[in-house]
Chains A and B, each alone.
Chain A
Amino acid sequence: MPAIDPVVVVQIVLVVVVFHALLLSAAGMVWAERKVAARLQQRFGPTMAGPAGLLQPFADVLKLLFKEELRPKASDAVLFYIAPVISVGTAFLAFCVVPFGPPTTFFGLLKEPIPLYVADVNVAMLVVFAIASMGVYGIVLAGWSSNSKYSLLGGLRSSAQMISYELCYGMALASVLLVANSLSLKDVVEAQAGAWHLFGIPILPRWFVFVQPVGFFIFMTAGIAETNRAPFDFPEAEQELVAGYHTEYSSMTFAMFFLAEYVNMVTVSAVATNLFLGGWFLPPLPVWLGFVWWFAKLSVLLFFYLWIRWTLPRYRYDQLMQFGWKFLLPLSVVNLLVTAAGVLYFGS
């Protein structure tokens, strides 16, 4: 029997751990969403299942599992079941190029430090972008194959929305690429190490959010629109479209769309952490605890997501398109030009 390369074992373990961590993070986000929503509306939220309602997401999943699976008669059987799989698949896939900490031994638990990412691709930013653009298919096909008017309208709306905001998303990525001079997420994070000094005193961490505040704003706005979250949650605008593209879905197929939405939120926040918030660097604090700082920043961004959802009302659809094409896109083009000029003048 040939010897098994320990690197392969580590890689497999990493893949399994990341996959389940994403599943758990989706469960955690469901719980957090309910709690935050409740608190913002002066309620308590789930309290019965487990301590502080922590087991609520698992109860939800069990409930969904035991529900009846329904498929409308006029729907397209194959596409109807492929659509949620595409949604979940792309949601999970995007995370594989996102690093989430410096190489670590887990407090001396392991002999050799292991890198904390599934794959370090030298075009990681573009991979994230490409997979995000594949995610549209799940929603479009769900809307079309259901063969019902609300589903179709929801699917069309969301795809138009995602195509419009993808441009701004890409422009924001390009402006970071100009500053960092690399497409690899790992290199981008390493470019943000250290702090700016004033008279020898470190005053500001070298995060790209301070170099690219407009880029950060564009990225987060486009990210929220890409993940179809409030105030851009048109695909499922309840008052107009019942539940949009997943109107006809029940039981686990519905749960898969639900899961995809939360995993996408985690991925967008993780990418934003790496691109703008310095990844695992938090200057006065030690880097070897990097993954802790990384998770702290991720949680802040995810809380921001929930906070926005329960604060802002939904836009109107024409306002969304106006905002995307007439404000955000010109802004991101100008931002890109200014960044390019700055890099040329100051030399990155």
Chain B
Amino acid sequence: MALNTVFFYLFGGLAVVASLLVIGQRNPIYSVLLLIASFAALSGLYILLDSPFAAVTQMIVYAGAIMVLFLFVVMLLNVPREDAAEWDRSHPLNKPGARRLGTALSVFVLVEFLWAVWHMAGRFGMPLKDTSAGSVSSVAAIGRSIFTDYAFPFEATSILILAAMVGAVVLARREQE
């Protein structure tokens, strides 16, 4: 087996296992850490796809910046460890209606997943299109396409984020007496 394949299964397996464990934790801090592990494994997969820039961005933006904020929120709100019995009795998600909706949604996701696997079945091992051009590995190429082909979506996203930032500042500001 080629080294690349070994690493693919290693990182892929890590990502899947860590993501599954995220929802299985009683302590929310562990969930945050496992999510970080899952992001790190994804970034390993990006490196295997020959796009180190995407991998590093994944680490900086998701694993670095966003998850630190998650960790802060969890730590500062001091979310208690979930108690199994308590969960069964009083959790708002444990109402019969919500339970049915959840079941329906998970069945839907499962069907969708199986459908995707079914349609991919014949195509394993085939090269993905347009990997030879090195279109994703060069930072310069990414920058050029962001500021030419995708200039409008890029600027629109910037304005959206700016609006969110201004909104956060306004909401968090203390009233001057």
Contacts and interface: CB of A to CB of B under 8 A. Distances in A.
B71 A140 contact: yes
A237 interface: no
Given A79-B29, A163-B68, A144 B36 contact: no
B64 A133 contact: yes
B56 to A, nearest CB: 4
Interface in B122-162: 137, 139
Contacts of A156: 75-76
B15 interface: no
Interface stretch (A98-106, A124-132, A198-206): A124-132
A231 to B, nearest CB: 24
Interface of A: 76, 78-79, 121-123, 126-127, 129-131, 133-134, 136-137, 140-141, 144, 156, 159, 163, 183
Contact of A122 (B36, B52, B71, B76): B52
Contacts of B59: 130-131, 133-134
Contact of A130 (B29, B64, B68, B139): B64
Contacts of B36: 137
A123 B52 contact: yes
Contact residues of B: prevailing secondary structure: helix
Contact residues of A: prevailing secondary structure: helix
B64 A140 contact: no
Contacts of A122: 52, 137, 139
6 contacts: A123-B52, A126-B53, A127-B56, A130-B60, A130-B64, A156-B76
Contacts of B53: 123, 126
A159 B52 contact: no
A78 B56 CA distance: 28
Nearest to A134: B64
Interface string B8-39: 00000000000000000001011001001000
B56 A126 contact: yes
Nearest to B47: A121
B42 interface: no
B143 to A, nearest CB: 11
B139 A144 contact: no
B7 interface: no
